[in-house]
Amino acid sequence: MPLAAFGFLVYLTFRRKVGKYHREIIAFLVIFLLSVLLSLGSYTPLKVLFKFPPFSFTRVESRFLAFSSVSFGLLSGLGIDILIKHRGRRIALMISLMILVFHALQLAWTFKSYHVFVDSNEWLTKPRITKLLPDEVRVISFNQEVRWNDALPKNGWFGKEPLLLNGLNSMGPNLNLVFGIKQLGVYAQQLPKRQEMIQRNMYRDDILGRNIRDVFGVSDMIDAKNDFEIIENKTALADIRIGQNIIKVRDIGESLGRMNQESFSPTSDVLWESETMPREDEKVVVANRSYYPGWKAFLSGKEILIYPVNINQQAVIVPKETEISKLAFKYDPWSYKIGGAISGVSLISWLMFLRRFSVQ
C-alpha cells in the first residue's frame, strides 16, 4: 500500500498536480534516490564518493537506508493525503481500512511463521554453561551456528523455545553484553581492520591460532558442534602484563607474520609498531584492549601516550618503578561527541523542515 501511494505521488508530481508541496516533494525524492544509491556502496557510480570525506568515514553503507525509509514514509503518507483530498472521505475510509487489514494480516503471518515469544526471565537468566566457567574468563565460540540452525526449521522459530534457549549455551559473540562474559569475537557488518585480522585467524588450529588465543587471553573455548564442550586454555595471558622483549615491526601485517612463527613467545614478546622505543629506565605495560581511537591512558592522573602492539592491543611506557595501580585507561572518543552534536542539529533541522507539512 505505501508503495502504491508512493507511485501515485510520483505520477502526480511529474504531472505538476501536487500544489504547494511540489518543491518539498522533489527534495524528498532526491533524498530518497541518493540515499538508496549510497546504501549500495561500491555497486553504483556513486562509489567514488566513498574515497572522500565525509563519505570515507562511513563504515556501513546500508545505514543510508534510514534516509530512504524516512523519505519513503513521508512521501507515501503525502500521497495518501493528496488522494483523500482528491477523492473524498469515503475513499479515505476505504483506503485506511485496506491498509489496516493488509498490514494486520501481514504481521500475523510473520509472527506465526517466524517470531517466538520467550519469557524474559528465562532469556536473561545465565545459561547453564556459565556455571562451568571460572569467574574471570574470556571465551571464543566454535560452531555456534549449528545450535541456532537446529531451532530454525522451514517455518521459523515458532514452537522451538527450548532449542532457542539451549542455543544461548554457545556464548556466541555479543551475548557477552547480556551475561557479562568476555568474548574475543564480535558480530559486525564491517570490522575495524585490526579486529578483523584477529577474528579471521583466532579459530585456527595451528601456531598462529594458538598464539593469538594466548596473547588475547582466551581462557576457554566453547565448541557447540555436537553439544557444548568447554576446552580450557591454560596458557592464556593476563589482561595487564609487563612486556619483556620488545620487537620492532613495521605494521600489523608483519606482526601477524611474527605471531605465525615458532620463535614467537606470547609470554614475553611484544610486537611494537611505533618508532618511539622505551629507554633502559622504562618498562612497557600491555593492556588487553583494542587499539581503537578514543582510548586515553593516565599515570597518576596525567595523560600519557598509548602505542599499538600485538596487532590489536594497547601499551604504555612508564618508569620502571611505577606501580600498575597508578595506571588508568578511559574510553572517551571525540567522534561520539561530534556525532551527538550532528545528530542533534539534524533532528532540529528535520523538525523545522517537517513543519511545512503540518496539517492545517
Q: What is the pLDDT of residues 217-230, one digit of tens each?
A: 999 999 988 889 99
Among 68, 74, 61, which Cα is nearest to 9's? 74
Sheet containing strand 302-304, strands side by side:
302-304, 295-299, 327-331
Q: Which residue among 232, 250, 277 closes a domain?
A: 232
Q: How many separate domains does the chain show? A: 3
- Looking at residue 151, what is its pLDDT? 67
Q: Are residues 221 and 289 in the same domain?
A: no
Q: Judge whether 126 lies within some domain.
A: yes
Domain that holds residue 45: 2-113
Cα separation, 360 vs 353, in Å, equals 16
CA atoms of 37 and 51, how far apart (whole Å): 15
pLDDT of residue 360: 46
Please write the tens of the pLDDT for every residue from 111-133: 777 767 788 899 899 999 999 99
Q: b vs e for 11-48, b when ≥16 Cβ sit within 10 Å of the residue's Cβ?
A: ebbeeeebeebeebbeebbebbebbbbbbebeeeebee
93 plus 174 within the same structural domain: no
Q: Look over the chain and give the mean of its residue pLDDT values, rounded to a whole number.
A: 88
**Residues 88, 13: one domain?**
yes
Residue 357 confidence class, pLDDT cut points 50, 70, 90: low
Residue 358 is assigned to a structural domain of this protein:
no
Average pLDDT (145-159) is 72
- In this structure, are 198 and 150 located in the same domain? yes
Residue 285 lies in a domain: yes
27-58 pLDDT per residue, tens = 899 999 999 999 988 888 888 888 888 887 77
Average pLDDT over every residue of 251-266: 96
Task: Please name which of 145, 114, 251, 259 lies closest in space to residue 193, comparing C-alpha atoms.
Answer: 251
What is the rounded end-to-end Cα distance, in angstroms, of the chain?
A: 25
- In this structure, are 137 and 219 located in the same domain? yes
Whether 6 and 54 map to the same domain: the answer is yes
DSSP label at residue 226: S
pLDDT at 269 over 60: yes
pLDDT at 81 over 90: no
Q: Both 218 and 257 in a single domain?
A: no
Q: Is residue 339 part of a domain?
A: no
Residues 103 and 124 in one domain: no
Same domain, 262 and 218: no
How far is the C-alpha of 242 from the C-alpha of 321, rounded, in Å?
A: 12
Q: Are residues 270 and 206 in the same domain?
A: no
Query: 356 in a domain, yes or no?
Result: no
- In whole angstroms, give the CA distance from residue 153 to residue 166: 15
Dist. CA 21–CA 78, nearest whole Å: 9
**Residues 224 and 255 reside in one and the same domain:** no
Q: Give the confidence band of 209 by pLDDT, cuts at 50, 70, 90.
A: very high
**Which 8-state DSSP code applies to residue 331?**
E
Q: Is a pLDDT exceeding 80 seen at residue 19? A: no
| Final residue in a domain of this structure, among 177, 203, 232 | 232
Give the end of a domain, one of 64, 85, 113. Answer: 113
